[in-house]
Amino acid sequence: MKTRLRRESLISEGEVDLTPLIDCVFLLLIFFMVTTVFIDVKGLIVDLPSQDQAQEEQQQKKKDVNILVSASGDYTVAGSSVAPDFLADAIMGAMDEFNNRNIIIHGEPEAKHKSIVFAMDMATKVGAEQMAFSVERQE
Q: Determine the Cα–Cα distance for residues 12 and 32; give it in Å rounded to an integer.
A: 34
Q: Determine the Cα–Cα distance for residues 77 and 83; give it in Å rounded to an integer.
A: 10
Fold of the CATH domain 61-135? Nucleotidyltransferase; domain 5 (3.30.420)
| Phi then psi dihedrals of residue 54, to 5 deg | -65, -40
pLDDT digits (tens, 9 = 90+) for 79-103: 888 988 899 999 999 888 888 888 8
Q: Determine the Cα–Cα distance for residues 116 and 75; give it in Å rounded to an integer.
A: 9
Q: Determine the Cα–Cα distance for residues 5 and 136; give it in Å rounded to an integer.
A: 110
pLDDT digits (tens, 9 = 90+) for 102-132: 888 888 888 888 988 899 899 889 988 888 8
Reported pTM: 0.54
pLDDT digits (tens, 9 = 90+) for 11-33: 566 777 888 889 999 999 999 98
